[in-house]
Each structure stands twice: as structure tokens, then as C-alpha cells.
Amino acid sequence: MSMIAAFYSGKSILITGATGFMGKVLMEKLLRTSPDLKVVYILVRPKAGQTLQQRVFQILNSKLFEKVKEFCPNVHEKIRAVSADLNQNDFAISKEDLQELLSCTNIVFHCAATVRFDDNLRHAVQLNVTATQQLLLMASQMPKLEAFIHISTAFANCNLKHIDEVIYPCSVEPKKIIDSMEWLDDAIIDEITPKLIGDRPNTYTYTKALGEMVVQQESENLNIAIVRPSIVGATWQEPFPGWVDNLNGPSGLIIAAGKGFLRSIRATPMAVADLIPVDTVVNLTLAVGWYTAVHRPKSTLIYHCTSGNLNPCNWGKMGLQVLATFEKVPFERAFRRPYADFTTNNFTTHYWNAVSHRAPAIIYDFYLRLTGRKPRMTKLMNRLLRTISMLEYFINRSWEWSTYNTEMLMSELSPEDQRVFNFDVRQLNWLEYIENYVLGVKKYLLKEDMAGIPEARQHLRRLRNIHYLFNTALFLIVWRLLIARSQMARNVWFFIVSFCYKFLSYFRASSTLKA
């Protein structure tokens, strides 16, 4: 019997961010391994014309939750969606709901965040810092609370090269930042943002670091732990391999490369790609919840959920495996044949952006215009290049994260728990994982059917022929222009023609002699 699964039985668990990528997998695993848990409260905001119930219904009826229904047939009854907006005062939770949450919750998993790299500081602070502070305040009023688990990111301190499982202070106190967001206007906030974030690349990593400081300040009153995942990718094993449902991290780039939009990227092939499967993160998080509640460590423990120091793999190897998988399972209706390469300096990056990204987009838009359709490729390409420029920071550097606490926790688990809540990334076979990841992107993100593979291959053959035809035509045009204008080009041309003629004559004569 798994001790961790048994621990969650009969418990009331509060999850924020349960509609997000990680939150869904966390909820699924909890319900599958501890079907006897009392209730999972999830804080959800109504969104895009959908009511709360519709959002939850959609999640519980998705492919991800198919397996859980075998173990927990009454899964709908176990989930209690509470209307809440973390951007609002007191989360805009009704009095009755708040009362229930305060009096019943045993464990809190705080996953909600804005993970956008381009968010303005005000919004990022509101969600990643102020909301965390408010949630901690709520937690301090929960008499039955056993543990509060905060999900941060391994990149919160990406301005450092070696990162330990400790909280590093930011130069300005979170309280001061929170206060200043209330009275500063947007223009001033935009102006001071670069100064505040300093050598971090974006508001996301900065506000996650501030969020950790807020957690630390509350750690005397509460039993808290922090989990810091690195780049979270598709599932490795559970509930099935390759599940992914958003474009964050590598997923969007896999689509862009598979559809032939992304042809080159400024990345360091030898840099460590610190990817971590989402089910590994969830297993560690649940184990941390158990350990924090049962063993009540004296100080707030931070757990790095990273792969680099235990089972490193670099971007070069991953990129090659992504391309190899496209050969086996091509994506449908590609714009160009998938091929992508790394560039390593400014000049080659600009050159390939112009030649491989912008020029084909302009030509295609010209073709769309000619055929009476609305041009869209240049806009899409500009967006892709903007996205890449924001991810570049993370694919051109390597970090070292120590994992003492994570390894200590692994050794504390029973063999059964090590199996059921496996977060030992040393067992991960990267090539197999990446292949499943690409397949998962095709199936669950692009919703493409495997039956369409022959047609996708046929389409790629057509693209190859168009490519050859285009290159030949381009060569002939350039050559014709050169011959018309340059004596040297004419001389080279006559030399080649006479050489070919002599070669053919010799070949014909020798075959006549042999005959």
C-alpha cells in the first residue's frame, strides 16, 4: 500500500491553477491514486463565455481524465469548483465558499500563476506575488491545514549559474513592490521594470522570485514547502505518455518546426536542456505534500524538480530526435518540409531569419494576394520570431541546480511509493520521451489523426518537388542575369558548356569502341 496515497484519503485539498497544464495533471493523479479523498476544492474563474461548471465538465470529460474514471467513477462528485479570481480582492470568493474553504482544507497546492514572459509588471506582481500573499493569509486561518505547497520555478533565480535549494532575496522587499503597484501609473511601472528585474530576462522569473520571498515571510506560521520545476514538458508515463495541452515551453516550437515554419533557431547545441515531464513534477509535488504534513520539517524545504544534474541531455540531441520523429510521423499540411538548425551568432541568426523565415512568408503572402486571399504568413512569422526571441535566453545557457532535498525525499519513500509516485528522472530515456512528446503534440494539441500520415507524407513529397523546382528556376534566372551583365560569367559558362560537351563526346566514343 502506498503511504502517500493513503495519506490523501479522507483529506480536503485545495488547488489553485487546477485548470492549467500542471494543475490538471495534479488533480488527475490525486483522484486516481487516492479515490477516497474527501474533496478537491479548485479555485476557478469563469472564462470566455463558459460558466464554472462548463469549464470543469470539459476538463473532466477530456482524454486526460479517461483513466481516472476506472478508479474513481464518482470523480465529478469529488471536485468542488469555487468561483474565484486571484486578481480580485479576497479572490472574489463568496462568504459561504470562503467559510467552507477555511474550515475544511487540509492541504493547499498553489499552482496558479501567470507564466507569460511578456506580462507587464503590475499584472505579474498581482498574480505571482500579491495573490500568493493573500492565499497565505487565507491559509493561516485554516485550523485543519497540514501543509501548504507552493509551486515556483527553477528559473526564479536564473540570474545565477549555480542554484541551491534556498531562497535568494531580491533587492527590493516584495511588500514595497506590492504597495508601489497600487499608486504608480502604468508608464512609470514600465519605465522602472528593467531596473527592478535587473539581470533576470523577464517579469515572470522576477515575480516568481518575489513570490518565494513572500512565502518565506509566512513560513514561521505555516508548514510550507516550495517545489521548483524547470521547463515542464509533456507526460512521461502517466496517465499515458506524451500528453500535453498548451504551447508553453518547447511544445509551441515543436509545432512550428513540424509544420515547417521554424527553420533555424539561435540555440547552443551543447547547453543542457533542463526539461522535466509534468507527471514527474506532479509526483514530486504530492510526495512533498505528504512529507511536509507528516514529518513537519523545521524549516521551509525547497525541492528542485530538474533533470540536468541527474540525467542531462542537451538541446542538440533533443533537436535531432525531434527531427527524426517528424520523419516517422509527419504533421499534416506543413508549410515547408521540416528542417531546423541551430545558429550561434548574430550574423547567421539575422541571415537565416531573412532567408528561411521572412522571405518564404513574403512570397507565400504574395501568392495568397494573387489568388484573392488574405495574406497572413508574415504576421504569423513575426509572432513566431518574437516568441523565439523570448525563449532564446533559456536555450543558450546552462544552469546547475542542486537536488539534495529532492534526493533526500526519494530515499524517504517506501519502494511502493517510489513506484507509484516516481520522480526519479534518472530512469528517463530521453529519446523515447522526445518521440512520445512529438507524437503527443500531434495527437493532443494538433488533434491530428494517425490515419492522415500517408497523406502528410504525400504533401511533403509535393513540397520537396516545389522546393527543387523553385531552386532550379531561381538558379537559372540569377545565372541568366549574370551572363547578360558579366564577361567573366560568360567565360565560366562557355568553359562549363565546352567541358560538358567534351566529356559527352569522350563518353560516346569510348562506348562505341567497346561495342
Ligand X SMILES: NC(=O)C1=CN([C@@H]2O[C@H](COP(=O)(O)OP(=O)(O)OC[C@H]3O[C@@H](n4cnc5c(N)ncnc54)[C@H](OP(=O)(O)O)[C@@H]3O)[C@@H](O)[C@H]2O)C=CC1
Q: Does 231 bind ligand LAMNML6D (CB under 6 A)?
A: yes
Residue 47 binding result from ligand X, ligand LAMNML6D, none, given CB thresholds of 5 to 8 Å by partner type: ligand X
Q: Is 79 helix (H, G, I), strand (E, B) or coil?
A: strand
DSSP label of 26: H
CB nearer ligand LAMNML6D, residue 151 or residue 420: 151
Give the separation between CA 108 and CA 147, rounded to whole angstroms.
Answer: 6
The DSSP bridge partners found for residue 429 are none
Among 2, 8, 12, 20, contact with ligand X (rule: CB under 6 A): 20
Q: Does 117 bind ligand LAMNML6D (CB under 6 A)?
A: yes
Q: Does 22 bind ligand X (CB under 6 A)?
A: yes
Among 112, 138, 273, 293, contact with ligand X (rule: CB under 6 A): 112
Q: Does 155 bind ligand LAMNML6D (CB under 6 A)?
A: yes
Give the separation between CA 447 and CA 279, rounded to whole angstroms.
Answer: 21
H or E segment and range at residue 265: strand 264-266
What part of residues 41-60 is at the interface with ligand X (CB under 6 A)?
43, 45, 47
CB nearer ligand LAMNML6D, residue 174 or residue 277: 277
Q: Tell me which stretch binds ligand LAMNML6D (CB under 6 A): 25-33, 130-138, 312-320, 499-507.
A: 312-320
Among 120, 314, 348, 387, contact with ligand LAMNML6D (rule: CB under 6 A): 387
In what order do the strands lie in the sheet containing 39-44?
79-83, 39-44, 12-16, 107-110, 147-151, 224-229, 301-305
What part of residues 356-385 is at the interface with ligand LAMNML6D (CB under 6 A)?
383
Burial of 48-72, coded b for 16+ CB within 10 Å and e otherwise, reads eeeebeebbeebbeeebbeebeeeb
Among 12, 105, 132, 153, contact with ligand X (rule: CB under 6 A): 153
Question: Comparing C-alpha atoms, which of 299, 303, 286 is closest to residue 230?
Answer: 303
CB atoms within 10 A of CB 445: 19
State the nearest-atom distance from the C-beta of 114 to ligand X, in Å.
6
The residue type of 201 is: P
Separation of CA 56 from chain center: 22
Contact 403, 163 (CB under 8 A): no
State the nearest-atom distance from the C-beta of 114 to ligand LAMNML6D, in Å.
9
Among 35, 174, 229, 260, contact with ligand X (rule: CB under 6 A): 229
Give the separation between CA 499 and CA 493, rounded to whole angstroms.
Answer: 10
What part of residues 169-228 is at the interface with ligand X (CB under 6 A)?
208
CB nearer ligand X, residue 45 or residue 337: 45
Q: Tell me which stretch binds ligand X (CB under 6 A): 111-119, 256-264, 401-409, 484-492.
A: 111-119
State the nearest-atom distance from the C-beta of 381 to ligand LAMNML6D, in Å.
11
Q: Tell me which stretch binds ligand LAMNML6D (CB under 6 A): 39-47, 114-122, 131-139, 498-506.
A: 114-122
DSSP secondary structure, 349-415, as one string:
HHHHIIIIIIHHHHHHHHHHHHTT----HHHHHHHHHHHHHHHHHHHS---EE--HHHHHHHHHS-H
Give the separation between CA 41 and CA 80, rounded to whole angstroms.
Answer: 5
CB atoms within 10 A of CB 187: 7
Peptide bond into 194 cis (omega under 30): no
Among 241, 250, 289, 360, contact with ligand LAMNML6D (rule: CB under 6 A): 250
Q: Does 86 bind ligand X (CB under 6 A)?
A: yes
Give the separation between CA 98 and CA 109, rounded to whole angstroms.
Answer: 16
DSSP label of 272: B
Q: Tell me which stretch binds ligand X (CB under 6 A): 113-121, 132-140, 171-179, 436-444.
A: 113-121
What part of residues 251-310 is at the interface with ligand X (CB under 6 A)?
none
Q: Is 232 helix (H, G, I), strand (E, B) or coil?
A: strand
Question: Comparing C-alpha atoms, which of 391, 396, 116 is closest to residue 257?
Answer: 391
CB nearer ligand X, residue 117 or residue 342: 117
CB nearer ligand LAMNML6D, residue 72 or residue 388: 388
State the nearest-atom distance from the C-beta of 364 to ligand LAMNML6D, in Å.
16
Residue 118 binding result from ligand X, ligand LAMNML6D, none, given CB thresholds of 5 to 8 Å by partner type: ligand LAMNML6D
Q: How far is CA 262 from CA 152, 226, 305, in A?
A: 30, 36, 29
Closest residue to bound ligand LAMNML6D by CB: 252
Q: Does 41 bind ligand LAMNML6D (CB under 6 A)?
A: no
Question: Comparing C-alpha atoms, which of 144, 132, 120 is closest to residue 87?
Answer: 132
State the nearest-atom distance from the C-beta of 206 to ligand X, in Å.
12
CB nearer ligand X, residue 16 or residue 33: 16
Residues in contact with ligand LAMNML6D by the rule CB under 6 A: 115-118, 153, 155, 231, 247-250, 252-254, 256-257, 265, 267, 315, 318-319, 322-323, 340, 342, 383, 387, 390-391, 394-395, 434, 437
Q: Applying CB under 6 A, which residues contact ligand X?
A: 17, 19-23, 43, 45, 47, 84-87, 111-115, 127, 151, 153, 208, 229, 231-232, 246, 248-249
